[in-house]
Chain A
């Protein structure tokens, strides 16, 4: 059942290119756009630093990707789940290009809307038992964004943890027993002052960063100036940034096309491993994410191989949340990563 109470309230969003500063946040989101396998982005920070703005702005930049036309599970043509009529075994579905979805998981969302549930309208009208896919299906192949992720109900967090770990949504409810692919980039944002994030959820994010209010006066003025222009005439503002937006769009596309051919030299790989060992980051996930992120950063730069500059740029993003938590240590984990960087990779 999908009830639309009113017309779709669509408003123009603030352009990604017009965000002042916040280079870490922009880089992390672009990396996730280029290589979805990097595993999610977590953005922590003060109020009013444009966390949600950036994520929503990203949607406008994402390139199209092929999906099975009419498939309610957003199946990729080469990997169909065969759950709906369009991609049932034997069917000859057409594929089409569709924008990569950026699905909002609003606070207050209920479990049935997230996992999907019995389509009650059809059930009541015709006694037909039909599954209506939820947000997880809609986000497949794209992004799932949770603002105020630290306020999410625990049982929904559990559910998301399970899905991000397995890449599929397993539904066992109302007589349904089905599973469908649900691979997406999880993007979370929140303010740590309003409640901490469960450690288990923290681990699931590939990249993690903290945004701060700009300290430079000129930047602050620019933030206010642009925002004011935007509020006063959205359409004109968005138009004036069209060119810059196109540039980023092309950059993502080019990076996606070339990322498969980017080489990671052995010495860079060794440095990455050394960096993780110096920091004592848990498990092997740190190294893998670090290399993947560095490769995506290289692709965004148009470089043919990963160099130490790329490594340096992405190390804080990929590692800061993987350090063993030492509550006695007052030092910010981001600072610890930079220290280790200075040791392993002297400038």
Chain B
């Protein structure tokens, strides 16, 4: 129901709402939904599909290769953002949009215009559009948070529910500017947003617009309680980061105290109570609570931080940004071997010679507007530096907690500083209890790794084999992207949980050895830091099985650690 309603509201004021994020698989239901929505949009306005792989030239505009060469004059080509002015852009596979595309979309959504400084062009162009982001991301992957924040509606699979009628939408569009909303109603909405830990003012503004548009759709010129409730449900539920504290709820049910450097959009716990909405807003709170996504609700109740909720999970993003080849100017050359023409540079090379070349032609001879010679050709140079991704595999089991999980954490942080300086990526895997978990996929944000690490609890068995296996998988994934993985293990090598998650020391050791040899076969560079108080033969043996360099932690002072990791890095 919410998908249909969100789409109807969006149609009333497309650009005002920024757009809609549709978390849905491709299929007939989605196509039907999009077609229905398209039928509601203002007539004669563009509806453009944008592939995730769109190039910056096509997105922003650039030189028109054909026209430029044909006329001998630089001819500009409008980009998709400018072409979509007044209309709607449909982004397929929005979860895979690279960071630069995201940033351009955000900038255009913010300013309703486009500022271009590229390839000899300078332009300010109107670009007021709504974005339909088709997000097919799995749990961990999703549309970038910055873009999510700018799209009013976040909805799941569309169902059979019909959208509003076209004439209703047209009438609502006329009525919308006159819809009245009481200042007290505004206060209520803001209070509800705060109670759910929503910090971005954009969410509140979207809620105001939603309430107004809903009133207009229902042919009312003033916002009533229904409109507010619906607005709160549609806009706040997908963005909630915490549950409001009901008076009877005991203290310990609260989410854990926020870390100091955590994104400040979650209010400190003591504020939740003061922010508890007025009784009038209670129905809104209930409405939002009822609409919370199931997994989010579970996490919030369990006291897990909601940071990894779907709309915050843009983790796949940074990886891709960094992998772009770095454009590094152009050089003379020919267009063989898949080289890309640097048109502007080619023109720049040819331009000064035009007068001379024309003079050299037989008098009166017909000639093309631009006399290009082979030596003018310039091709784009891209430097693709392979990125190194360091995966920290931390043993957080009971034996570790007793000894020195703290020290291991410290050591990881030292190494992180190293990664930071080299602009490398870091990922974090921890194993304890019965299983190993990927706490953080490769990221360049030191703050996130640090935070994740600080929150890492210790205790339980040592499922070493699973830790190694997960690390091996991660390393494979990184290699597939064309990057270089480096594994750094922090463990004492004392396995006692088997692959099946059963406590059996002997079998666990066999499993661990096997996993280690498997990993060794992949040729991944490894470093094992023995975290036991005294160097352990078992850890040393594990290092051998892994083909890893061995370093006992007591000796692992900062410099030695960095040096050891550096030695493992490709030069």
Contacts and interface: CB of A to CB of B under 8 A. Distances in A.
Contacts of B104: 107-108
A151 B321 contact: yes
Given A124-B72, A212-B264, A328-B414, A195 B352 contact: no
B421 interface: yes
B119 A110 contact: yes
Given A5-B121, A124-B73, 7 more contacts: A46-B263, A47-B145, A106-B116, A109-B117, A127-B354, A153-B327, A327-B413
Cβ-closest 3 pairs across A and B: A123-B351, A127-B355, A213-B199
Interface string A85-112: 0000000000000000000111111111
12 contacts: A107-B104, A114-B117, A120-B74, A127-B352, A127-B353, A127-B354, A127-B356, A151-B99, A155-B327, A215-B271, A224-B201, A327-B414
Interface in B101-118: 103-104, 107, 110-118
A270 interface: no
B450 interface: yes
A52 B354 CA distance: 44
B149 interface: yes
Nearest to A227: B205
Interface string A180-215: 000000000001111110110000000000001101
Given A46-B200, A111-B329, A194-B146, A217 B190 contact: yes
B566 interface: no
A117 to B, nearest CB: 7
A313 interface: no
Contact of A217 (B113, B191, B265, B356): B191
Contacts of B82: 5-6
B76 interface: yes
A153 B73 CA distance: 29
B490 to A, nearest CB: 16
Contacts of B194: 217, 220
B123 A213 contact: no
Interface string A322-343: 0001011011100100000000
Contacts of A105: 117
B119 to A, nearest CB: 6
B447 A108 contact: no
B120 A112 contact: yes
A147 B109 CA distance: 14
Interface string B115-137: 11111111111110000000000
A3 B208 CA distance: 39
Residue with the highest number of chain B CB atoms closer than 10 Å, among A5, A46, A111, A112: A5
Contacts of A118: 348, 351
Contacts of A121: 73-74
B186 interface: yes
Contacts of A198: 423
Interface string A287-309: 00000000000000000000000
A194 B99 contact: yes
Contact of B351 (A2, A104, A124, A148): A124
B338 to A, nearest CB: 21
A37 to B, nearest CB: 26
A239 interface: no
Contacts of B201: 48, 213, 220, 223-224, 227
A225 B260 contact: no
Nearest to A114: B117
